[in-house]
Chain A
Amino acid sequence: MSAAGRELWARLHLLDRPILDAEGIPSAKVDDLEFSLPEEPDGLPILTAVLCGNAALARRFNRRLAQRLELLRRVFVPVERPGPARIDMSEVKHIGPALHITPRRHELEVATLDRWLARNVLAHLPGSGIDARSDDAPQ
């Protein structure tokens, strides 16, 4: 993000856009945005993170379902409190037709369940071509 003073519309320019990892591989999409509320009364909310994954997407349609999915994520991801997978805005390096981020795909929280399925299910199917020991097991 090098353009200072850039103007964006959250839904039009960010929501549902693909997220490309450090190698340009599609890794997730923007399912929601997280803002921090200002401490001062006249301050403006600051965009702090991009939220992605099933739990983040579900919240746009059914909050109760989203809460259950966020709790379910804790089975696979050792996080202190339930919530969707998030990518901090400090890790977003460019916003265009897609969001380019600095981490690699296997470093993202959102890929945890996909990696588990790839290693434990898909890798054992004949002809899948997936190495169960690899960190880069495809999604």
Chain B
Amino acid sequence: MRLSDLLERAVVDQHGRNWGQVHDVYLVQDGPVSATAAAFRIHGLIAGRGTFGTQLGYVGRPGYEHDQETRGPWVLKALVRRLQRRAVYVPWTDVVEVGDHQVIVRSPPNGFDRANSGAPSSP
């Protein structure tokens, strides 16, 4: 599987609800340890409508400290955050299948957490 198999793919759950497109993929260096270092593993995805703010780093996301966010005019930051407010974090454990055109996920009863709601829970 490649990153390009995930980015911009529609995220659809078991009820047919479309959660938007995959904007980015969350990696944590907690995999098998090789001679040099531990491997990075995919822990989750950010999905939502529109990619502008996420790609530029304006939007808060799990594992992303406040001081790491892109600095810029507050008006622009506020506008981008407003547009991205519905972006959600999808844990990889909820991904059922990566298809050619969409990523099938299993959404919890209350839906996925907002992408800027803090650190994700470990799988």
Contacts and interface: CB of A to CB of B under 8 A. Distances in A.
A joins B in a complex = yes
Contacts of A36: 1
A133 interface: no
Interface stretch (B11-19, B34-42, B73-81): B34-42
A10 B27 contact: yes
> What class of interface size applies to chain B in its complex with A?
20 to 34
Interface in B3-51: 3-4, 7, 23-32, 34-43
Contacts of B26: 7-10
Given A1-B37, A44-B43, A7 B2 contact: no
Contacts of A2: 37
Contacts of A35: 1-3, 42
Given A33-B3, A46-B32, 8 more contacts: A5-B28, A6-B28, A8-B28, A10-B27, A11-B7, A44-B43, A44-B92, A47-B39
